[in-house]
Structure formats: structure tokens, C-alpha cells
Amino acid sequence: AKRFAEEGAKVVVADLNARGAERVANEIGRAAIWTQTDVSTRSEFDEMVNAATTAFGRIDIMVNNAGYT
């Protein structure tokens, strides 16, 4: 997320860990928003997409880096 922002992208930091997502978005600054999202839940995924398009107008790149242990 930080690297994309360094290259000029606007970034949505979406994570189950709300504190972590908020921390990263705050480190990036105005070019980022954050959302607590469980990408395995369709409704939460849809809410994240809506937040992204509301904030930035469109999604050009999406990186799905979800996993669990």
C-alpha cells in the first residue's frame, strides 16, 4: 500500500485488523482511506468496493493478499 502511494496511487487499506489498517492509512496520509473488511464475506467486500469508488471514483488495481492461519 505504501509503495503504491509513493508512486502516486490513491489507496484503500482493507483489513480485518481495523487498527492496523487505520495505522497504515494514516502513515500514507491523504491519499489513503481504510476499512475493516473480511474479504471472505461478500457484503463486506461490496462495502469496501463502495468505499473505494465513493472516495476515489474508480478502482484501477486491486491486490488481494488475504490469508489465514
Q: What is the pLDDT of residue 61?
A: 94
Those residues whose C-beta lies under 8 Å from the C-beta of residue 36, and which sit 6 or more positions away, are: 14, 15, 16, 17, 18, 21
pLDDT tens, residue by residue, 48-68: 999 999 999 999 999 988 877
Q: What is the pLDDT of residue 25?
A: 97
pLDDT tens, residue by residue, 1-35: 999 999 999 999 999 999 999 999 999 999 999 99
Q: What is the pLDDT of residue 69?
A: 66
14 closest CA partner among 53, 44, 56, 59:
44
1 closest CA partner among 69, 67, 61, 49:
61
